[in-house]
Structure 1
Amino acid sequence: MPWIQLKINATQSTAEPIGDLLMDLGAQAVTFLDRHDTPVFEPKPGETRLWGDTDVQGLYPADTDMQPILTILRDAQMLSEHNYRLDQLEDKDWEREWMKNFKPMQFGERLWICPSWLPVPDPNAVNVHLDPGLAFGTGTHPTTALCLEWLEGLDLSDKTVVDFGCGSGILAIAALKLGAKRVVGIDIDPQALQSSHDNATRNGVAEQLELYLPADQPRDFKADVVVANILAGPLKELCDVICGYLKPQGQLALSGILNEQAEAVSNVYQEQIHLDPVTSCEDWCRISGIAKFS
């Protein structure tokens, strides 16, 4: 069973109320993570010790409609436009299992995603060396695989690309390795931007990859290709933002979408995008197409 993880950046005063509200709103689990690796000391009896800058994570079944939950959090002034992130997760302990299960994987004819600690199967292929750390994206999840296969099938020579929700940087780096000349990666999580930078450096493409938090992203940048692997709710909510990155006749791919959510997401994008047939992998799918505007 797949899951949705809601991560909210909080403060010492807001973290515990956010966690309580997430539980009230049906979270299967809530955890608190220190964003600065500050040691946790044993709390006094009856005391909950939280960090000054804390990520609160709530875990929900993947078929949960997250929009009402996000609305309640906004109304309670616990959520703003740029302080949260939604990710799709497999039904396993990601941080413990990914190294064991992460092996070299081929996408299309040319592209291989290879763990940085293992030798590449084909030195003549387009090889992306990856160490995702705690950021999302190795290629093992169906949504990432769908996006990698789509990118591998494009002619990216001399193209510009936006990776919206870049995570580990896997899609951005793959695009550069496949011939793109410039990629802009955007993510709400500073840890993801650091992971993307580290992986880009490992692959020798750091100078071509620009990384931004949403508040700092370039406002006038238009790309030939945009890929957004996030979740259905944010994809619908951010349709105009995502399509706004496209040049006329630019190519778009969206993933992080459950099969049963495809129609709803397609309905939001069909006014601006000539849509291709939906492509599915296990419980998830990819929506792609070409911008209608010229």
Structure 2
Amino acid sequence: MQQMQHTTLDHIEQIAEGVVSLVLRGTTGPLAPWEPGAHIDVALPNWLTRQYSLCGDPADRDAYRIAVRHDPLSRGGSEYIHRFLRRGRTLDVSLPRNHFPLVPAPEYLFLAGGIGITPILPMLRAAAASGVPVSLVYAGRSPATIPFADELLSLHGDVVRIVATRHHGRPDLTALRSALRPDALVYCCGPAPMLAAAEATFPAERLHVERFQPVTRTYAPNTPFEAVCARSGRTVQVPPDESLLDALTHAGYPVPSGCREGVCGSCEVTLLGGEPEHRDDIGAPAGRMYACVSRAQSPQLVVDL
């Protein structure tokens, strides 16, 4: 079972058009440590679990800060938070996970679009504190839709450029690339068109991206396979029309899950044998796989359950 932390919603406020900031304070002592780029699962009172990047100060062990944009096509997560969640509500959150870590570099360029600023905020703070050259280009439709703009300009004004695309168009990524030293790292989080433009502009070995939605890919037709649960000695049949996650859940193995799209990592299982077909967007480490989307290339997978 996934380890959860108990928090209370200490503060919630609208910080931009369609965006609220939430401060979750630990109720049973210090919260788990985290590093820039990390996110948490939030178990909402309407039985949904959603993932949000931590955008506060990693040195503050008493509270986590997240921000949530209201999605007009919400599946129930952002809609509930914006319409019904109130100060004082208790919320269980997971331990932080980080698939978007900040690695050492001689120079950083951060690119953010809209709510994609959330993982970038603590990254910018940490990178600036390291003393290397840093810059942030932050794009949004209009000033009213750009959260944390005042905070960024107040703390990092000299290195922050905010672009209201409705008035000034999209940032010129080619010009930004030409101004960087060859070994600089670029971190990008935002809507799919921004990520695609960044991938077309910057060398892949220098670019780190985080996605909110999976990339559309084509795979061979699903085939059935067996999941051998090593600890319990049971074998679970996984038919073509069912995910490994659902098959395990229906068999009595409640694997945690969140996005069910291969972008959050909450459904990670330990792989002991067999050949997986990784279909996630975050890059499963060796000996791990994400049960919501990934399948098997061999007749059997052996998992640590």
Common fold: TM-score over 0.5:
no
The structure having more radius of gyration, on CA atoms, is 2
Q: Which one has the bigger helix percentage?
A: 1
- TM-score with structure 1 length normalisation? 0.39
